[in-house]
Amino acid sequence: MPKNPLVSVVIPVFNGASFIVRAVESVLVQTWKDAEIIIIDDGSTDDTQGVLSQFANRSNLTCLHQDNAGPAQARNVGIKAATGDYIAFLDCDDIWFPDKLETQVTILREKSQSGLVHANYEVIDRMGRVIQHAKAGQSCDSLHKAFSGGHAPLLSTTVVSRVLLERVGGFDSKLWVSEDSDLILRLYDVVKFECVDRTLVHKFQQAQHNDAKPTREAKLGEKVLSSRERFLARVQKRPTLNREQQLALNREWSSLSLLKGAYDEGQGRWQEARQHYVAAIQKEPFRLRGYTRWLRALRP
C-alpha cells in the first residue's frame, strides 16, 4: 500500500480568538490523520496568540505570525511553509465535518485528472442554526457561472494539489477581497474541478443587524475597493470573452461602481458618488439600483 499523502491545512486568522479553537479542533478530529496544521496570525490585536498557546505542544501544528497584510498574503505564507502533497484551506471561523478530508483526498487519489476537490456547505448563525444550504457545484452567481462552469468553491471546502497551486502562482497578495475568486478562476483554467455533493463544512456568518446602516458598502474602505477593481481588471484582460462572460463581468463592474458610490457618499463626496452611479448605469442600463442611488445622491 502506498503511503498516505500528507495534507497541509492552512488557517489564516485575524482577531479570531473567539473562533479559532473550534476550527482547529475540527481538524484534529478528522478521520484522515495524515495532516499538518499551519496557522498564520495576520497581526491580530485580540487574544488570538494567547488562545493558540494551548496547542503549543502539538507536533503537527505550527503557528506563524505576520504583520497585518491580509488573508491572501497569510495563505501564501502558509503554502510556503507547507510540506504536504495537498493543501486544504480553512477559515478561522468555519468548521469541518469529521470525514471531510478523507472524503476529498480519496477522490483526488482516484481521479488523477482532478486537481481540486470542493464540497457543499451550510451557513450557520451564532447559535449554530443552519440559515443557508449551498450547492457549491451549481452556483447561481453570474461570474462563476460564466467563468468556472458554475463552480464557486468556498475556500474552507477546498483541497488542492500543492504543485498545482505553485503552478498558478498562489494567491495575489495585493488582494484583500476577491482573492478566493481570483485563485479559483485561475485554477479552473488549468485543471478539472470535482465537487462532493454533500455538506462537509459549516460556514459561520455573523449576524447583520438592521441598525448597521449606512450600508456595508460605505464601510469597506479604499483598500478593499481597489482590490476588487484589480481583480475585475484581470478578468477583463482575458484574451477571449464571449457575450455571456462580458455580461457577467459588466454586472460585477456595475456592482463595484455602486460600492464606490456608497463609499463616497459616506465621505460626503457627492459629485464623485454621482459619477460612480453613472458608471454603474452605463455598465448595466437595466439595473434599477444605479438610477435610485444616483437620485439619492442629488439631494445634497
Exposed/middle/buried for residue 20 (C-beta within 10 Å: 0-12, 13-18, 19+): buried
Q: What is the mean pLDDT of residues 232-249?
A: 96
- Write the burial class of residue 293 (CB in 10 Å: 0-12 exposed, 13-18 middle, 19+ buried): buried
Give the per-residue pLDDT at 1: 36
Give me 276's grid cell: 460612480
Largest CA distance in the chain: 73
Average pLDDT over residues 1-8: 75
Q: Is 211 exposed, middle or buried (0-12, 13-18, 19+ CB in 10 A)?
A: exposed
**Is the model more confident about 283 or about 3?**
283
Mean pLDDT score across all residues of the chain: 91
- Tens of pLDDT, residue by residue over 92-102, are 999 999 999 99
Q: How confident is the model at residue 233 (pLDDT cuts 50, 70, 90)?
A: very high
How confident is the model at residue 300, as a pLDDT?
63
Give me the pLDDT at residue 2, please. 52
Summarize the confidence of residues 173-180 as an average pLDDT: 95
Domains of the chain: which residue ranges?
A: 7-204, 216-296
> Would the pLDDT of 209 be above 70?
no
Q: At residue 195, does pLDDT exceed 90?
A: yes
Distance (Å, rounded) from C-alpha 26 to C-alpha 103? Answer: 15
At residue 64, the 3 state secondary structure works out as strand
The answer to whether 147 and 188 are in contact (CB under 8 A) is: yes
Q: Using an 8 Å Cβ cutoff, are 121 and 201 in contact?
A: yes
Q: Where are the alpha helices (DSSP H) in the chain?
A: 20-28, 48-52, 71-81, 100-110, 142-147, 162-168, 179-188, 222-236, 243-266, 270-283, 288-296
pLDDT band at 141 (very low <50, low <70, confident <90, very high): confident
In the numeric block, the cell 452567481 is attached to 141
CATH superfamily, domain at 7-204:
Spore Coat Polysaccharide Biosynthesis Protein SpsA; Chain A (3.90.550.10)
* Residue 80 CB partners (closer than 8 Å, separation 6+): none
* Whether pLDDT at 221 is above 90: no
- Summarised one tens digit per residue, pLDDT across range 25-70 is 999 999 999 999 999 999 999 999 999 999 988 999 999 999 999 9
pLDDT the model gives residue 42 = 96
* Cα separation, 118 vs 111, whole angstroms: 14
